Amino acid sequence: MYSLIDPPHEPLAPWLAARGLPAFRRRQVRRWVFQRRADSFAAMTDLPTPLREELAAAFRVLSSRIARHEQAGDGTEKLLLELADGERVECVLLRDDRGHRTACVSTQVGCGMGCVFCASGLSGLARNLSAGEIVEQWLHLQRRLPGDERLTHIVVMGMGEPLANLDALLPALAVASDVEGLGIGVRRITISTVGLPEGIRRLAKLPTPYQLAVSLHAPDDALRSRLVPAARTIGLRAVVEAADEYFARTGRQVTYEYVLVAGVNDRPEHAERLACLLQGRCVLVNLIALNPVPGLPYRGASPASVRQFQGVLERSGLPVQVRRRKGEGIRAACGQLRRDRRESEPPVAGSAATSELTAAPGAVPAYATPPSNAPAAVGEPPENAGSKLP
Ligand code: SF4
């Protein structure tokens, strides 16, 4: 059985052609999946019944299912998806009072970057996601919305390093921005990277200039090597130069993400060095206090430290944003839900995604025992910028 969503080589078109069926049937099916949020071929009522039956025998509408759903009081929802091979990834729906409905998605199962404060990196990289598996995260999240709402923004800052899986991400984003797909403009799509210069340059050459967020987390190479081990061989200078090139080619202001870890990178002298590094550049600095991961020896910076850090940067002339907290009451840190399941839960019996979708919105499962420190990681991404969610 094929997965229906598998850009750029979706199997539906050749399948229809092989049966002598008209190409417009593909558009009809896609409209049902992307715009009408159908979860079965039986629901596609403008298709002939025999065709619906044949499609159901050949394809799955979605290859992933919701293994777990958590919802915070502010409307933030987090899904743990189980993929066809049993691997699991997370995605998050963020709501705000401006009507923004933002999908934060993963690009890899686990992550190979090994950021020392991040749950996703703890077990290393299992595999890349396919383009279809990335698109399915949007579809699952879109189905959480009432019929008169739609996804308005995308941030690629869940599990994994997006620029290490661009071959899958770019076709997926093409579907997201396609008017026959999700129809989300590229200005509303943010890719967040730990800073892989080659990948940034590849993005810069695209005709579709996405918003770019670069996670620095440190103002010098020595400290950054400790926090982001995979960046050891790259060097901050190379990262910033690639980001400069991105701005020069696309005109898009680059956001620099800085996760503040108490006693590690949150002192005024760190802020001064960061200001020196970014001086004179048209950038935005996004600060967020670390959302601690149980079992790791790192804490988020205090509100006073965050304010002090922000003040140093602002006095040097850099625009700074401190990310608002969302996701109160759920295990919102990237990779935490997947890890919880890996370590402490029995497998969830197979059940269709649709059946779980009927669970009362807002119901936090009985097994959810949110830590008091949960909220910081699912931050509200600004419309024109984003950041890697640690
Ligand atoms: S913070 Fe991002 S890049 Fe670093 S390990 Fe976690 S998912 Fe990977």
CATH code, 44: 1.10.150.530
Confidence (pLDDT) at 334: 67
- Atom nearest to 161 CA in ligand 1: 3
**The tokens of 310 are what?**
């922000």
Q: Does residue 317 form part of some domain? A: yes
Count of domains for the chain: 2
Are residues 92 and 216 part of one domain? yes
358: pLDDT confidence band, cut at 50, 70 and 90?
Answer: very low
Are residues 44 and 75 part of one domain? no
The answer for residues whose C-beta is within 8 angstroms of residue 97's C-beta and 6 or more apart is none
Confidence (pLDDT) at 346: 40
Confidence (pLDDT) at 33: 96
Q: Does residue 215 form part of some domain? A: yes
Q: Does residue 387 form part of some domain? A: no
Are residues 46 and 184 part of one domain? no
Confidence (pLDDT) at 332: 57
Does 355 score more than 90 pLDDT? no
158 vs 104: CA distance, rounded Å: 6
Decide if 104 is catalytic: no
Q: Is 336 in the pocket of ligand 1 (CB under 6 A)?
A: no
Are residues 99 and 52 part of one domain? no
Q: What percent of the chain has pLDDT over 70?
A: 83
325: pLDDT confidence band, cut at 50, 70 and 90?
Answer: low
0.95 cut: is pTM over it? no
Q: From the candidates 82, 90, 136, 161, give the one annotated as an active-site residue.
A: 90
Q: Does residue 386 form part of some domain? A: no
Does 101 score more than 70 pLDDT? yes
Are residues 71 and 23 part of one domain? no
* pLDDT digit string, tens, across residues 162-201: 999 999 999 999 999 999 999 999 999 999 999 999 999 9
Decide if 334 is catalytic: yes
The answer for residues whose C-beta is within 8 angstroms of residue 58's C-beta and 6 or more apart is 1, 2, 15
Q: Decide if 268 contacts 309 (C-beta within 8 A).
A: yes
Are residues 244 and 189 part of one domain? yes
* pLDDT digit string, tens, across residues 69-88: 999 988 999 999 999 999 99
Q: Decide if 267 contacts 223 (C-beta within 8 A).
A: no
Confidence (pLDDT) at 219: 97
172 vs 177: CA distance, rounded Å: 9
For residue 364, give its domain range.
65-379
Residue that is last in its domain, among 40, 60, 80: 60
Q: What percent of the chain has pLDDT over 90?
A: 76
